[in-house]
Homo-oligomer: A and B are copies of this chain.
């Protein structure tokens, strides 16, 4: 399927993937080269999983999950498949985030450091709670087939808005986390004396911000939105390439069908109404 401004999209997608990938690599270099590396010992090595998993899951994977509907190569795939990929990526990210929280709470408790006193921890925990709410609500309302189309239409703009808000809040929390960690860790030489680790990790912060900016641009261009499903793909159980023949009757699905076709069609029709409302909801948001 043709996409308006495809070359621009491709350039931005490649940039986003590159910057997101670089953010993960920079986080790993920070932890493995400048910090003590990774481990699960109740000490600094365990804490270090926190930034690695947050940047990988809560930033990079969440960002990709947000733009997955916009990849034109997937427009021939069913909406259900794309929803499953969107939900699957967010589930993987959510699991990484939970492990990252276990790592930091475990580290604090082992060292008798208080939990949840900093603004970073408040904002980060709010983002994680909203992310799980979003995941569960999204699963029951948009992935499972039971929610009425009218409910989906009402909730889709909220789902899109809160998804972007959570992603933005995760970035805020990540940059506050980097700030905290650098002030804690860089004492000799001090952060204020421009040590290589400070400059390097500041650059990581800018990469995360740039990744967010690219994802926001890609996801708010109306011309790059997945097109609405059309009758031809939804209401022709006997048409299309598998049959190899297009009969004039294929345009009217009420002809030539037996009982099972009828069920398929009424399902198809419901799904179509559904998707149309769904799309209307999405389109009204951005």
Is A132 an interface residue, CB under 8 A from the partner? no
Is A247 an interface residue, CB under 8 A from the partner? no
Q: Complex Cα distance A223/B284, Å?
A: 8
**Which one of B113, B164, B191, B222 lies within 8 Å of A117 (CB-CB)?**
B191
- The count of chain A contact residues (Cβ–Cβ below 8 Å) is 44
Task: Kindly identify, within residues 146 to 185 of chain A, every residue whose CB is under 8 Å from any CB belonging to chain B.
Answer: 157, 161, 164-165, 168-169, 171-172, 175-176, 178-180, 182-183
Q: Complex Cα distance A145/B114, Å?
A: 59
- Given contacts A192-B113, A205-B123, A217-B161, whether A118 and B182 have CB atoms under 8 Å apart is yes
Residues of B within 8 A of A205 (CB): 119, 122-123
Is A286 an interface residue, CB under 8 A from the partner? yes
Of the A-B pairs whose beta carbons lie under 8 Å apart in the complex, a sample of 7, sorted by A's number, is A114-B192, A118-B182, A123-B205, A172-B175, A176-B179, A183-B183, A286-B286
Residues of A within 8 A of B (CB): 113-114, 117-120, 122-123, 126, 157, 161, 164-165, 168-169, 171-172, 175-176, 178-180, 182-183, 191-194, 198, 201-202, 205-206, 209, 213, 216-217, 220-223, 284-286
